[in-house]
Structure 1
Amino acid sequence: MIADMFEEKLDALSRMMAEHMARPFPPGFRGLDIEDQDMVMLDADACGYATSVLKGPLTERHRAGLMRLTAMFGKVLRAIEGEYAIRYYTHVRDMAVLAAEVEDLREK
């Protein structure tokens, strides 16, 4: 049962990554810092962690980094303006959260 749930979430993460890669980056967000967070790096970090989770287990250091990243979205999303940018970064957050869920299931 857990194995089935793991595979379903892994497949969902793969689909989310494909959807994300097809979306254009929000206009005006290159070089923009929100809540002391570079928005390009936030996006890149989330993609990097999701890609790593799809390839295999994370190290403890990387698991901790993914947890910090998902927590950062709580602050950043409240401060983003613009409908598209909010949708874009909500998707990025959801992708990072799903990556963390996959990683948690991998442990079981």
Structure 2
Amino acid sequence: MRAPFPDGFRGVDFDGVDLVLLDAGVAGLVRRELKGGLDGSGIACLWGCIADLDKIIPLVGEEYCASCFTKLRTMARVAAAPCVPRAT
């Protein structure tokens, strides 16, 4: 979460997804999950961010930026894992 934001990617969006907002959104949601858990709307937002990450990562051509957002997706998926409904 302390990694510097990729140079040259502030104000950039891919397929309508603003990278700065996505980064900040995931960081805030993960922090909330670690400090006591997300409510239903927070969980939905986190899964929405994961979907956005899945969409934009293949579009990022710069290695450091792609690496940062891949790590962000991993962090988001770990935080969201307890919120996955169990199969019955």
TM-score (norm 1): 0.73
Matched-pair identity in %: 36
- For residues 47 and 5 of structure 2, the distance between their equivalents in structure 1, rounded to whole angstroms, comes to 23
Describe the shift of the 1:97–1:71 C-alpha distance in structure 2 as closer, same or farther (beyond 3 A).
same
Provide the secondary structure at the position in 2 that maps to 1:57.
coil
- Partner residue in 2 for 1:25: 5
Q: Is the 8 A contact 1:53 1:103 kept in 2?
A: no
Pick one of 53, 60, 64 that aligns with 1:73. 53
Q: Work out whether 1:38 is the aligned partner of 2:48.
A: no
TM-score (norm 2): 0.89
1:103 Cα offset (Å): 4.0
- For residues 52 and 103 of structure 1, the distance between their equivalents in structure 2, rounded to whole angstroms, comes to 13
Q: Work out whether 1:98 is the aligned partner of 2:78.
A: yes
Deviations 1:27-76 (A, max 9, x none): 11100011101100010011011100001121111111111111111110
Q: Which residue type is aligned with residue 39 of structure 1? A: L
- For residues 82 and 27 of structure 2, the distance between their equivalents in structure 1, rounded to whole angstroms, comes to 14
Which runs of no fewer than 5 residues in structure 1 stay unpaired? 1-19
Higher Cα Rg: structure 1 or 2? Answer: 1
Aligned residues: 85
* Structure with more relative contact order (C-alpha pairs < 8 Å, separation 6 or more): 1
Detail structure 1 runs of 4+ shifted over 4 Å in the superposition: none
Which runs of no fewer than 5 residues in structure 2 stay unpaired? none
Q: Which residue type is aligned with residue 71 of structure 1? A: A
Query: Which of the pair is proportionally richer in helix?
Result: 1
